[in-house]
Amino acid sequence: PIEELLVDLPGLDRIAEVSAEQFTNLPSTAVTPANWLELAQRIRTILAEGVDGREVDGVVVTHGTDALEETAYFLDLTVASDKPVVVVGAMRPPGTVSADGPINLIHAIQTAGAASARGRGTLVVLNEEIHDARDVTKSHTRSVQTFESRSWGPLGNVGRSGVSFHRRAERAQGSEVEFDISAVTPEQLPRVDILYSYNGADGAAARAFVAAGAAGLVLAGSGGGGASRELWEALRDIAGEGVWVVRTSRVGAGSAGNWGRETFLGGDDLLAQKARILLMVALLHTTDPEELQRIFREY
């Protein structure tokens, strides 16, 4: 329970007045888009209305690290508030030597209460670093220094000297986000699947996803977003049938090229798992190709 995580945090009363709520308790890989939606709607309500009649300065979400970046990015796109939302996790279990959970949680609370964190959308805090939800990814299976924003680096740091930001992300975030999900139901969330490019790939997986009801496909392409001839031809056919296809790179840094733009959407430098989330959210609001491409440029 979340209350137990707060009991033994040293000096918490000197940092913030904290109210705890147990939203759910799932392994991060068991979290579904329906959970994202419900969580985003709950956070929007808390930030707008407060808790027990009292205004809140920010929200901290504790989360398993394996899929933390996906939840964080969904919140970044759907919580339209300048108040900070901070997602935090831990790499070492409680009770182990040098467990990182308590200090990460303290730093997350510290960041959520900082005036300098306002207007920056959803943030991810671990290992004394503050990352933008859009850019951050888990890069190592065990290291505490696992979360990286590979192309750009962290936004700032948090520690004994407080919260310090060194740069600002330029994509739309905070109150700038345009996606209103307050009345969206889980059944309305479109299905979007990810295809991984590799030598010899054909179109079988892509067609299977479409047969299962996919409204969109994200290609994690080789290099700048490429694929085998067979897969490329299958994706062109599928796009011609009205299924949206977004090109990204499997490399992990850098953007997907813009060739094929007459058929596909360009995912810019988004990782495939992030592009999937953006397409899901965007399709709730538009199916105009120019608007969709604008969204991928601005978010």
| b/e burial code for range 1-27 (CB count within 10 A of at least 16 → b) | eeeeebeebeebeeebebeeeeeeeee
Q: Which domains does the chain have, with CATH numbers?
A: 2-176 (3.40.50.1170), 190-298 (3.40.50.40)
What does the pLDDT read at residue 179?
Answer: 97
pLDDT in tens, 57-71: 999 999 999 999 999
What does the pLDDT read at residue 261?
Answer: 59
Per the structure block, which two tokens stand in for 1? Answer: 């329970």
Positions in the chain short of pLDDT 70: 257-262
Per the structure block, which two tokens stand in for 103? Answer: 């200090």
What does the pLDDT read at residue 259?
Answer: 59
What does the pLDDT read at residue 260?
Answer: 52
Q: Given its phi and psi angles, is residue 260 left (phi above 0), alpha (psi -120 to 50 degrees) or beta?
A: left
What distance in Å separates the CA atoms of residue 86 and residue 65, rounded to the nearest whole number?
13
| b/e burial code for range 68-82 (CB count within 10 A of at least 16 → b) | bbbbbbbbbbbbbbe
Tell me what percent of the residues of the chain surpass a pLDDT of 70.
98
Say if residue 142 is exposed, middle or buried (CB neighbours under 10 Å; 0-12, 13-18, 19+): exposed
Contact yes or no for 181/284 (Cβ under 8 A): yes
Contact yes or no for 240/290 (Cβ under 8 A): no
Residues 6+ apart with CB under 8 A from 262: none
